Amino acid sequence: MAVRIISILFPLFAIAALGYVVARRRTPDLTEANRLNMDVFTPALVFGALAGRHVEASTYGWLALAGLIVIIGSGLSGRLIALLTGHNPRTLVPPMTFNNCGNLGIPVALLTFGEDAVPAAVVLFALSNTLHFSFGAWYLDHHANLWSVLRNPSVLAAIAGLSVSLLDIPIWDPLLQTVVMVGNVAIPLMLFGLGVRMATTKISTLGFALIVAISRPIIGMLIAAALIAVFDLPHIQAATLLIFGALPPAVLNFMFAERYHQEPDKVASAVLLGNLFAFLFLPIALAFVL
């Protein structure tokens, strides 16, 4: 099992490590590449994963509900931890709530269970991404325009992909394969960009970062495990949910904190340390699902 876990995680951390090494040597500017990934490659990945197979409306309904409970439960736990530790809830709650289900969640699911697990991981990613761009933005700024979430390419791709899948709308196979090939760019670019971000971010507030880095995956896994015991989820969906719970804070949390001037240095430290701690918590999650 140890060899299996290492073989699953090695490509993820190897690509991230490559990004880290490159960034330490030449500090590449990935601003435009990351924008393309958010606007083109990731939406193609989302659409291809959902539209490429027919599913019934109930197939991922319980998984989506369970994912929503994990997100809400993690956020409420973050609120309680903020009150107990004296940290600003607007700084601590978002990285506790929104995890790295894009950069790490989809690749881990893919490498663990193959293509069959990608739709489940994409459903959780689309759910978290939609909430992050809507509630997450409103939480940091009550004047934020919530309708902007409908212009988010990944959200639009999820709606379109689900519509095609649920309605069983035929798509010309070469066209679908083209979309899938474009989407295949997203995962390695996500991981490479994560490594670059880790190389250019410093841990400035260790105490705050440790709180988030440790409590985020532990609480997420506990909530996910409880839901798995209650909901009758298929094995791959249950495993994907547990992995979802174990994921570290999303890099997007730092971008939001910087945009809304919400102690970005603290959030950056939590994101960096949390993703480093993924070396510890993801193997634990995989040991339970394999």
H or E, element range at 281: helix 264-289
Residue 196, token pair as written in the block: 């670059």
The model's pLDDT over 259-278, given as tens digits with 9 standing for 90+, comes to: 788 988 888 889 888 988 98
Distance CA 28, CA 17 (A): 14
pLDDT number for residue 54: 64
Distance CA 107, CA 12 (A): 7
Distance CA 230, CA 275 (A): 29
Residues 6+ apart with CB under 8 A from 199: 19, 20, 21, 23, 24
For the chain, percent of residues with pLDDT exceeding 70: 96
Fold of 2-289: Na+/H+ antiporter like fold (1.20.1530)
Residue 185, token pair as written in the block: 């760019």
pLDDT number for residue 6: 81
The model's pLDDT over 205-240, given as tens digits with 9 standing for 90+, comes to: 889 999 999 999 999 999 999 999 999 899 999 999
Contact predicate 90/262, CB 8 Å: yes
The model's pLDDT over 9-28, given as tens digits with 9 standing for 90+, comes to: 888 788 888 988 999 888 78
Letter string b/e over residues 91-128, b meaning 16 or more CB atoms within 10 A of that residue's CB: bbbbbbbbbbbbbbbbbbbbbbbeeebbbbbbbbbbbb
3-state SS track over 132-197: HHHHHHHHHCCCCCHHHHHHCHHHHHHHHHHHHHHCCCCCCHHHHHHHHHHHCCHHHHHHHHHHHH
* DSSP 3-state of 4: helix
pLDDT band for position 248 (cuts 50, 70, 90):
very high
